[in-house]
Structure 1
Amino acid sequence: MNLSTKKSTKQKMMSGALAGVLMTSLGIAAPMIALTQTATAAPADNLTAAKRLNKLLTNTKSMTANFSQTTKGASSGTFKGSMSVQRPNNFRWETKSPSEQLIVANGNSMWIYDKDLEQATKQNVDSQVGNTPALLLSGDPSKIDQNFKITQPYSNKNYYVLYPKSDNASFKSLSMSFSGGKPVMMVLNDTLGQTTSIKFSSIKMNPSIGSSQFKFTPPKGVDVINQ
């Protein structure tokens, strides 16, 4: 394996791991509807922001969209594809260019399949939930406030910034922006000093998604790695 291939492999795997965190986050962000704008632009206090976020999470059960994911840092690059998410804890993240990669999670396990590398990695979702925004899926405002500092910088804008309180979290901050009641952009600053922006388009809220979308069986001949 030459240096170029090693670098490409590293970028793909880091992108896959990051996408997993983001999509776990998106499982939280998807059930968003627009807040009624108010006259003031003052920030909401943390408890109010957490309660608003929790209240909004219960309104949408599923979402599909196309995405464009751009990372700036050690693993710079832009990836495009499609995604689907269904509460609780189900998501499918399929990168189609510049390379093909599939990430599927169903609440118990998460698969990262890289077609070019002929490699599939299986991870236990439970082992990585503790310090990710997946805790927001609990639907308990007190737990949200306990584990995250959730801010709404402008009370008249549908924009939230989450800061994990744990030192072991895999990201420093995660921001979510909404337009017309739909999440249109997420920006994650990770612990590696990288910034990843994800823009969503062709968004469909509450579609019917077959359970097969959240299942994965490694193709014959693919190397399987259990983590």
Structure 2
Amino acid sequence: MTLSIRVKPTPTVKQKMMSSALTGILMTTLGVAAPMVALTQTAQAAPATNIVAAQRLNKLLANTKSMTANFTQTTTGASSGTFKGVMSVQRPNNFRWETKSPSEQLIVANGSSLWIFDKDLEQATKQNVDNQVGNTPALLLSGDPSKIDKNFKITQPYSTKNYYVLYPKSSSASFKSLSMSFNGGKPVMMVLNDTLGQTTTIKYDNIKLNPSINSSQFKFTPPKGVDVINQ
């Protein structure tokens, strides 16, 4: 009798790095980076107050129901690398982040669950995100400026520029600061400084605001033979 044993590939340093970086970015992009439009306002001499900045940001978020784009994500620090792929978001809380190179990984979230699928590793991880929402920019999707201001210090450093910087008030948040830049009515760049001392820059192109997105984009069923891990 011949016994056949299937051995899964061992995760490489790059694959581990990508999984960690993308998971952190997802929780941020889910609520902040994706649903953005340009800021239009009268120039002022001083930065906006925190509550005014929160109200303006809330208004911007409410104007975009869905978005698709290509992205280039570069991380520097202990884990460095550049990844490219496509993403889509649809309110409320639907998100898809698909890395195409240098290796393939898919992250899909619908507000209550988050799937991370590593094709090369034949492994899918399912996480419950309900308990994490309060400590991430996903709270911005609530549409309540008072809640936004309660959980984040939101600044608009230069009132003549389409630029915001957010600082989480919770000590358990996964990032220290998040900056966002806009151009021509669309988000063009996000810079995330995490608690590990790493900086991740995401640049968007081929952006489409408010497109019709099939709901299947935000659903995930593990392929046959894939190991499923519940966290």
Question: Same-fold call, TM > 0.5?
Answer: yes
Shift of 1:41: 4.9
Contact 2:192 2:200 in 1 (8 A): yes
Aligned-partner residue type, residue 161 of structure 2: K
Equivalent residue for 1:124?
Answer: 128
2:163 is the counterpart of 1:155: no
Contact 1:14 1:75 in 2 (8 A): no
Unaligned runs of 5+ in 1: none
2:14 is the counterpart of 1:8: yes
Q: How does 1:42-81 map to 2 (within 5 A)?
A: 42-81=46-85
- What CA distance in whole angstroms lies between the structure 2 residues aligned with 1:126 and 1:109? 8
* SS of equivalent residue, structure 1 residue 130: helix
Shift of 1:156: 1.2
Equivalent residue for 2:97?
Answer: 93
2:138 is the counterpart of 1:138: no
2:26 is the counterpart of 1:20: yes
- What CA distance in whole angstroms lies between the structure 1 residues aligned with 2:117 and 2:163? 32
Aligned residue pair count:
223
2:223 is the counterpart of 1:219: yes
CA RMSD, Structure 1 to Structure 2 (Å): 1.6
Partner residue of 1:200 out of 176, 201, 204? 204
Give aligned-pair identity as a percent: 78
Q: How does 1:20-39 map to 2 (within 5 A)?
A: 20-25=26-31, 28-39=32-43
* SS of equivalent residue, structure 2 residue 99: strand
Contact 1:83 1:92 in 2 (8 A): yes
Unaligned runs of 5+ in 2: 1-6
Aligned-partner residue type, residue 87 of structure 1: R
- What CA distance in whole angstroms lies between the structure 2 residues aligned with 1:41 and 1:178? 20
1:150-202, Cα deviation, whole Å (9 max, x unpaired)? 00001111100000001111100011111111111111000011000000000
* SS of equivalent residue, structure 1 residue 31: coil
